[in-house]
């Protein structure tokens, strides 16, 4: 089964003086505009954090952290590990989609490592660089890795789209009074997201044309069954992420925590800030301060960052070293199996 490719080989650029070709300066203008907007967003977040930090009761933050029971922290850690396991299965779907035959015992730890580094260092490091590095070490070619990566990213965001759509459309998020993005606006966004998700599923189920060629790359629709598994696993991971935060912040109802997490995560992704540092804190405090004190919210976020971000990163670092140490032996074993099965040699990365 073939997969969508998220990276395309560049086509030859026509002469800039050819008729109908846009001015070459336009992309530069857009690039500078993007940089200015990003810088302005960073400054805005920094100012918000400074203002909130001045108003915070830091004694309350420390009290919140000290009052966590060992049982609460263990439960949150267990849910975190379950979430990482669910995310690791995304690449098993990618295997079914791309048609490679690496065993699950190699795929699951590899994806765990990628997810931990993705959350802490950004998608270009975790999702992209680490996948290409580790999968190529195990014997996959560039085309297969691209298919796995594309399908994994699609699984994550497809789950997000449909879950966020339902949460927003059902008005499950309790926004503060006077919040600029009101409940009605959020509900409209929810309906739009549901339409997008349902359109993808409908295409997988009813489209007679199953493949397209874009810039020399073939893009194939998955089966309806595989698409439904994508939705379930993608949504399950976001649900588990929010559950970790809800365990650490019991004063706020789970549906609201889930909705705020979904909003803050997309804001962090748009800002391209590794781990969404500062963005998640600003949005959580801004949207939940009418339901819990700022100190208790920040205390919960600090615990959340340690349990969901830093602890798995420590585990992933050890796992990465083990994978690198064993990669040569595993690659030889995978190549021998591929030759036995009569599979063609993949293109090198």
Report the chain (349 residues): mean pLDDT per 10 consecutive residues. 40 41 52 67 59 56 82 97 97 93 94 94 86 92 91 95 95 76 84 96 90 77 95 97 96 93 83 70 87 89 93 95 91 76 56
23 belongs to a structural domain = no
Q: In the prediction, which pLDDT does 19 show?
A: 41
Q: In the prediction, which pLDDT does 59 show?
A: 62
Find out whether 298 and 249 touch, Cβ atoms under 8 Å.
no
89 belongs to a structural domain = yes
Q: Report the distance separating Cα 121 and Cα 144, nearest Å.
A: 24
44 belongs to a structural domain = no
Q: Bridge-partner residues for 218, per DSSP?
A: 213
- Residue 270, number of CB atoms within 10 A of its CB: 12
Q: In the prediction, which pLDDT does 330 show?
A: 87
Q: In the prediction, which pLDDT does 147 show?
A: 92
Q: In the prediction, which pLDDT does 89 show?
A: 97
Q: Report the distance separating Cα 301 and Cα 294, nearest Å.
A: 11
Q: Which domain holds residue 122?
A: 60-341
- Count up the domains in the chain and report the number: 1
297 belongs to a structural domain = yes
30 belongs to a structural domain = no
3 belongs to a structural domain = no
Q: Report the distance separating Cα 125 and Cα 131, nearest Å.
A: 9
Q: In the prediction, which pLDDT does 126 show?
A: 84
Q: In the prediction, which pLDDT does 136 show?
A: 92
301 belongs to a structural domain = yes
User: C-alpha distances in angstroms, 74 versus 115, 145, 303?
Assistant: 21, 35, 12
325 belongs to a structural domain = yes
SS3 184: helix
Q: What is the DSSP letter of 220?
A: E
Q: Whole-model pTM? A: 0.80
């Amino acid at each position: 089964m073939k997969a969508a490719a998220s990276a395309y080989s560049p086509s030859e650029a026509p002469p800039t003086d050819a008729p109908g070709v846009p001015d070459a300066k336009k992309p530069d203008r857009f690039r500078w505009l993007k940089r200015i907007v990003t810088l302005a967003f960073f400054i805005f977040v920094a100012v918000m954090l400074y203002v909130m930090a001045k108003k915070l009761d830091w004694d309350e933050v420390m009290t919140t952290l000290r009052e966590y029971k060992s049982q609460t922290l263990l439960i949150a850690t267990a849910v975190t590990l379950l979430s990482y396991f669910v995310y690791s299965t995304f690449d098993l779907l990618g295997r079914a989609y791309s048609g490679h035959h690496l065993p699950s015992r190699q795929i699951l730890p590899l994806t765990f490592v990628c997810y931990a580094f993705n959350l802490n260092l950004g998608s270009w490091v975790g999702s992209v660089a680490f996948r290409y590095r580790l999968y190529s070490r195990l014997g996959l070619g560039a085309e297969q890795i691209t298919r796995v990566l594309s399908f994994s990213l699609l699984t994550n965001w497809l789950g997000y789209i449909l879950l966020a759509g339902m949460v927003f459309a059902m008005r499950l998020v309790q926004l503060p009074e006077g919040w600029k993005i009101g409940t009605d606006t959020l509900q409209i966004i929810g309906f739009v997201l549901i339409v997008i998700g349902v359109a993808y599923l409908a295409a997988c189920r009813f489209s007679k044309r199953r493949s397209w060629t874009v810039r020399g790359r073939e893009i194939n629709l998955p089966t309806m069954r595989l698409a439904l598994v994508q939705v379930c696993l993608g949504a399950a991971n976001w649900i588990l992420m929010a559950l970790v935060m809800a365990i650490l912040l019991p004063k706020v109802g789970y549906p609201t925590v889930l909705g705020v997490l979904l909003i803050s995560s997309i804001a962090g992704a748009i800002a391209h800030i590794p781990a969404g540092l500062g963005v998640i804190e600003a949005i959580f405090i801004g949207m939940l301060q009418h339901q819990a004190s700022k100190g208790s919210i920040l205390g919960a976020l600090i615990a959340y960052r340690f349990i969901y971000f830093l602890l798995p990163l420590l585990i992933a670092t050890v796992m990465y070293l083990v994978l690198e140490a064993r990669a040569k032996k595993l690659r030889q074993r995978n190549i021998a199996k591929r030759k036995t099965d009569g599979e063609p040699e993949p293109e090198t990365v």
